Amino acid sequence: MMRQYELVERVQRYKPDVNEALLNKAYVYAMQKHGHQKRASGDPYFSHPLEVAAILTEMHMDEATIAVALLHDTIEDTTATRAEIDDLFGPEMGKLVEGLTKLKKLDLVSKKAEQAENLRKLLLAISEDVRVLLVKLADRLHNMRTLDHMPEAKRLRIAEETMDIYAPLAGRMGMQGMREELEEIAFRYINPEAYRAVTARLAEIFERNKGVLTDIEKALSGLFEKHAINAGVKSRQKKPWSVFRKMEAKALSFEQLSDIFGFRVVVDTVEDCYRALGAIHTTWSMVPGRFKDYISTPKQNDYRSIHTTIVGPSRQRVELQIRTREMNKIAEYGVAAHSIYKDTGGKTNGAGHAISKETNAYAWLRRTIEQLAEGDNPEDFLENTKLELFQDQVFCFTPKGMLIALPRGATPIDFAYAVHTDVGDTCVGAKVNGRIMPLMTELKNGDEVEIIRSKAQVPPAAWESVVVTGKARAAIRRATKNAIRKQYSGLGARILERAFERAGKNFTKESLKPVLHRLARKDIEDVLASVGRGELASTDVMKAVFPDYKDERVTPAAPKQREEGWSKIRNAAGMLFQIPGRAARKDKDQPRDGAVPIRGVRGDLPVRFAPEGAVPGDRIVGIVQPGTGITIYPIQSPALQAFDDQPERWIDVRWDIDERTKERFPARVSVTAINAPGSLADIAQVVASNDANIHTLSMVRTAPDFTEMLIDLEVWDLKHLNRLLSQLKDNSSVSDARRVNG
């Protein structure tokens, strides 16, 4: 175990003016607090925070970060408290240590939810201070290095969590060396057979190609010497997980992989990068489509380098990365290489250490966390965070030239939400490179995207399955929930208006405010939505507002008396509304007094039709379905018998015709056709020629002479349906056609 003076000496090598007192104090305090605690390996527990601190010294982190590493488990695993840390080390360090402490005693329903809440807490702490991230990643790296001592089931869970969250997080922060080591160890535990096979094959290929690699290094070094470019050339081998992932994703064999080996060219200046590139491309042929300039357009994690692939000296493909020494350092250590908390002069933080300009990677992380922190539940947060962390990127532009970085596979919808949530919510179309393209189009590097907007737009729920960014998915989910809540709230308001009117009272939303506690709802909109969903009866609201109110409802009429006793049902329910249709009659479909105007399935209230359907011209009734809205039935439907003893769920409805809205309505018919070739085509032809639409079709019975089928149609109204049935009966291929429950 590393001694106290050895830790101080490590930091002194890169920071001669180290605050020894702080390191010594943190070392002694943590060692005393962890006392005789042991790790699963049997080693003293204090060896773990000490190793975490050692990993951070390799990144040349300042003494405050090293001290936090020594203290990071004290609040969680010892008797130490936040107040005690604040008192001894200051509130800033206390806040950092608390940010690394897992949530305890979570009242959550699943391990996934607990994991998500801990991740949310960690990321919010990271967004305030990047040192939390650096200590956490070092902590995870040491835990992975000692994973052998954990039970097998726990090993697998920790490895999967590392692969899902911590390795991608390190990559997003540009810490490629740490990402590769985390992935390699996790791969070894998640899929040990594949790990052994890939590792053995890579070792075999390396032995076979050692001579070729040396020859290429010499050829490149000679080329740069000839052009007076000071450059270091070193070969590198792709890591096992990277190889395995590429083979799986692209269904490739080892022989088909062209980039198992690559060469890194490190030069002094940016100008030398392009001079080296020119020397290479004028000596060997470039492979088309394999050139990327991340110097002029850096990745979101601040990675900068030139990538190219050439047909090399021995006629084999050679992948090259060209970068400066500073770029190489950033590629290896990411945010840790930016000296955010090292002495560079100028503005200082609370610990007396300089704060340099925020890096792109850290700025991206802060924005992402702010967006994801608005998630609706822990599982959504975890899912969206993984989406944000995992993806490779494409770079697109707004018409004004603003650069938008998106995950690979992103669509114009993702682009719109990346610009602003309001832009995404009002998106109705997109132009990609000046041409109108479908919103599902996969964007490519360099695309210019212009979003077409409409204030009347509400993002469809189906978009959630199209987008790939966590921000877009969370925003669509939120907008969908808000739209549904608005529908239920509107329905609830209209139901309460009728209930209050029947009681001779005047309904106002303000009248609900004093009785929210009696109704166990947090706000007025919650009351209205609960009434609309059928979770809260209108009579219960009436009794809460008027304690002396008495409900005098009548039980609805029996099924055979429904048509004749309709007024009794209406009086029993006390609620009227209308649903859009077509070609209203002036007789029985004339608007009934007190009807509440409500749009249909395309309108602003949650309405759907029973399986057998209903069309304008039918006498109809609505049944409130808790949680799903109102289901519309024809008055003659046998299914209504199930609701005879539930009068509070019956709602009198009428067709509200809007000639401007062309909408078909569902109706189910039974057709008995002669079992002969072409009979189904004849039926389809009759339906099509009558401007109707077949939604679904199923065979009920098949016999040697005939076939009975159920067809769900979409028609304009009852007159349209009757005309269609008449023509089906007249067709030579049909022996019978009738409406189901009609």
Tell me what pLDDT residue 669 has: 94
Strand pairing category for 620-625 and 607-609: unpaired
Question: Helix, strand or coil for residue 397?
Answer: strand
Question: 76, 86, 448, 708: which one is catalytic?
Answer: 76
Tens digits of per-residue pLDDT, 493-549? Answer: 888 887 888 788 888 888 899 888 888 888 898 899 888 887 888 888 888 888 887
Q: Flag whether 312 is in a domain.
A: yes
Instruction: Check: CB of residue 707 under 8 Å from CB of residue 736.
Output: no
Q: How far is CA 646 from CA 258, 544, 620, 642, 650, in A?
A: 71, 21, 17, 9, 7
Question: Helix, strand or coil for residue 624?
Answer: strand
**Average pLDDT of the segment spanning 178-186:** 93
Closest C-alpha to 138, from 43, 47, 56, 70: 56
Length of the chain: 742
Specify the residue for token string 């808790």. Answer: 626
Tell me what pLDDT residue 646 has: 80
Q: Flag whether 381 is in a domain.
A: no
Of 639, 657, 675, the domain-final residue: 657
At residue 737, what is the residue type? Answer: A
- Rounded CA-CA distance 722/692 in Å is 12
CA 241 to chain centre: 25
Q: Which residues contact 179 (CB under 8 A, 6 or more apart)?
A: 167, 168, 170, 171
CATH number at residue 724: 3.30.70.260
Q: Which residues contact 442 (CB under 8 A, 6 or more apart)?
A: 409, 410, 411
Tell me what pLDDT residue 694 has: 92
Instruction: Check: CB of residue 548 under 8 Å from CB of residue 601.
Output: no
Please check whether residues 581 and 697 belong to one and the same domain. no
Instruction: Check: CB of residue 382 under 8 Å from CB of residue 115.
Output: yes
Tell me what pLDDT residue 474 has: 84
Tell me what pLDDT residue 573 has: 39
Q: How far is CA 665 from CA 152, 469, 622, 692, in A?
A: 58, 36, 15, 10
Neighbours of 547 (CB within 10 A): 9
CA-CA-CA-CA torsion sign (76, 79, 81, 85): negative
Specify the residue for token string 């509130």. Answer: 91
- Distance from first CA to last CA of the chain, Å, rounded? 85
- Rounded CA-CA distance 382/473 in Å is 12
Please check whether residues 572 and 522 belong to one and the same domain. no
- Rounded CA-CA distance 395/296 in Å is 12
Please check whether residues 185 and 205 belong to one and the same domain. no
Neighbours of 211 (CB within 10 A): 9
What mean pLDDT, rounded, does the chain reach? 80
CA-CA-CA-CA torsion sign (596, 597, 603, 608): positive
> How many H helices and E strands in the chain?
27, 20
Closest C-alpha to 639, from 628, 623, 654: 623
Mean pLDDT lowest among 49-63, 355-369, 418-432: 355-369
Q: Which residues contact 526 (CB under 8 A, 6 or more apart)?
A: none
Tell me what pLDDT residue 375 has: 52
Tell me what pLDDT residue 504 has: 83
Tell me what pLDDT residue 174 has: 78
Burial-class residue 701 by CB neighbours within 10 Å (0-12, 13-18, 19+): exposed
CATH number at residue 332: 3.30.460.10
Mean pLDDT lowest among 191-195, 504-508, 708-712: 504-508
Instruction: Check: CB of residue 737 under 8 Å from CB of residue 671.
Output: yes
At residue 413, what is the residue type? Answer: I
Question: 9, 20, 43, 77: which one is catalytic?
Answer: 77
pTM for this structure?
0.55
Of 289, 316, 338, the domain-final residue: 338
Instruction: Check: CB of residue 517 under 8 Å from CB of residue 529.
Output: no
Asked if 383 is an active-site residue, the reply is no
Q: Which residues contact 184 (CB under 8 A, 6 or more apart)?
A: 239, 240, 241
What's the Rg (C-alpha) of the chain? 35
If you ran DSSP here, which 8-state letter would residue 72 be given? T
Tokens of 461: 């729920």
If you ran DSSP here, which 8-state letter would residue 93 be given? H
Closest C-alpha to 670, from 734, 741, 739, 742: 739
Q: What phi and psi, each to the nearest 5 degrees, are found at residue 276?
A: -65, -40
- Rounded CA-CA distance 315/731 in Å is 73
Half-sphere exposure of 75 (CA within 13 A, CB side): 21
Q: Which residues contact 658 (CB under 8 A, 6 or more apart)?
A: 580, 599
- Rounded CA-CA distance 20/7 in Å is 10
Tokens of 676: 């002969």
- Rounded CA-CA distance 601/650 in Å is 18
- Angle subtended by helix axes 538-545 and 524-532, to nearest 10: 150
Tell me what pLDDT residue 552 has: 58
Instruction: Check: CB of residue 54 under 8 Å from CB of residue 2.
Output: yes
Burial-class residue 506 by CB neighbours within 10 Å (0-12, 13-18, 19+): exposed
Half-sphere exposure of 53 (CA within 13 A, CB side): 32
Tens digits of per-residue pLDDT, 203-247? Answer: 888 888 888 888 888 999 999 999 999 999 998 888 888 888 878
Q: Which residues contact 625 (CB under 8 A, 6 or more apart)?
A: 534, 631
Asked if 705 is an active-site residue, the reply is no
Please check whether residues 33 and 172 belong to one and the same domain. yes
Q: Flag whether 398 is in a domain.
A: no
- Rounded CA-CA distance 289/309 in Å is 9
Q: How many structural domains does the chain have?
A: 5
Flag whether pLDDT at 182 surpasses 80. yes
Please check whether residues 259 and 298 belong to one and the same domain. yes
Instruction: Check: CB of residue 335 under 8 Å from CB of residue 175.
Output: yes
Flag whether pLDDT at 122 surpasses 60. yes
Instruction: Give me the residues paired with residue 670 across strands.
Output: 710, 738
Q: Which residues contact 315 (CB under 8 A, 6 or more apart)?
A: none
Give start and end residues of each alpha helix (H) in 515-594. Answer: 516-519, 524-532, 538-545, 566-573
CA angle 225, 227, 233 (to 5 degrees): 45
Please check whether residues 643 and 495 belong to one and the same domain. no
The confidence band for 322, taking pLDDT boundaries of 50, 70 and 90, is very high
Mean pLDDT lowest among 482-486, 626-630, 690-694: 626-630
Of 171, 192, 213, the domain-final residue: 192
Q: Flag whether 31 is in a domain.
A: yes
Please check whether residues 82 and 147 belong to one and the same domain. yes
Neighbours of 289 (CB within 10 A): 7
Q: Flag whether 367 is in a domain.
A: no
Mean pLDDT lowest among 31-35, 515-519, 595-599, 648-652: 595-599
Please check whether residues 59 and 199 belong to one and the same domain. no
Specify the residue for token string 């101080």. Answer: 8
Closest C-alpha to 465, from 485, 444, 480: 480
Please check whether residues 41 and 87 belong to one and the same domain. yes
Please check whether residues 603 and 687 belong to one and the same domain. no
Tell me what pLDDT residue 188 has: 93
The confidence band for 282, taking pLDDT boundaries of 50, 70 and 90, is very high
Domain span including residue 573:
559-657
Tell me what pLDDT residue 117 has: 65
Please check whether residues 533 and 596 belong to one and the same domain. no
- Who wins on pLDDT, 130 or 418? 418
Most confident of 101-110, 232-241, 315-324, 411-420: 411-420
Mean pLDDT lowest among 317-331, 593-607, 676-690: 593-607
Q: Flag whether 552 is in a domain.
A: no
Please check whether residues 201 and 87 belong to one and the same domain. no
Tell me what pLDDT residue 374 has: 55
Instruction: Give me the residues paired with residue 451 across strands.
Output: 430
- Rounded CA-CA distance 217/287 in Å is 19
Mean pLDDT lowest among 293-302, 408-417, 693-702: 293-302
Tokens of 495: 């139901």
At residue 579, what is the residue type? Answer: I
CATH number at residue 109: 1.10.3210.10
Instruction: Check: CB of residue 634 under 8 Å from CB of residue 674.
Output: no
Closest C-alpha to 373, from 497, 493, 487, 470: 470
Q: Flag whether 446 is in a domain.
A: no
Q: Flag whether 418 is in a domain.
A: no
